[in-house]
Amino acid sequence: MTLLPSFQPGLNALIVGASGGLGSAFADLLDADAAVAHVARWSRSSGVDLTDPASITVAAAALPAPPDLVVIATGVLHGEGLSPEKANNQLSADALATSFAVNTIGPALVAKAVLPLMPRGRKSVLAALSARVGSTADNRLGGWHSYRASKAALNQLIRTMAIEQARRNPAQILLALHPGTVDTGLSKPFQTGVKTLFTPEESARHLLAVIDAATPAQTGLLIDWQGAVIPF
């Protein structure tokens, strides 16, 4: 049984960040779906670097078919020289720049490159992984300044692009998705006390169900893994 019955059979998918834990889960599930014709996998190892706009342009031009589904499963929270801030005095220009480059600018440039390629007249979806902590309405704890701000900016870009695309391609849907806490390298240092920790496959299945249920009336929204709308 297909994971995406609301799409036409023979759909083509593109997974951005396909070498990551959640991205690879998306790609593997779709590869195993008989209704999916082709899954393109973008990652740094395949030559696509979200901090290199030219690599995105080249990869988009090389897609074998217009993608019906694009999932942008990239993100950075911590790493060398980057750690979630706990106080205002921990803010740094470098951390902000890194967070925005990967979490905001890269996905926006992917959307710019692939939205014009996506089919018209039938359901197509571009979904970018965001986070509940990117909701300003839901921010009651503070902290994690760079990550929160970069995801909030991503949410706004998805919303803004969705408004334009609703005029250009009314059957197209753009979504920002909150996957829950997933057992990947991104969340590994912050899993203590987490009530529900998903495997990458579990989270990907939940989000594919959300994508399948999505309608044009929901374009531009931030939606969690259960299908609930999160206010910006």
- 23-72 confidence digits (pLDDT tens): 999 999 999 999 999 999 999 999 999 999 999 999 999 999 999 999 99
CA 102, CA 45: separation in Å to the nearest integer?
A: 16
| pLDDT tens digits along 102-154 | 999 999 999 999 999 999 999 999 999 999 999 999 999 999 999 999 999 99
* Structure token pair of residue 179: 């996957």
CA 207, CA 85: separation in Å to the nearest integer?
A: 28
The full set of domains in the chain, from first to last, is 11-224 (3.40.50.720)
User: What is the pTM for the complete model shown?
Assistant: 0.96
CB atoms within 10 A of CB 37: 14
| pLDDT tens digits along 142-200 | 999 999 999 999 999 999 999 999 999 999 999 999 999 999 878 877 777 788 999 99
CA 184, CA 74: separation in Å to the nearest integer?
A: 12
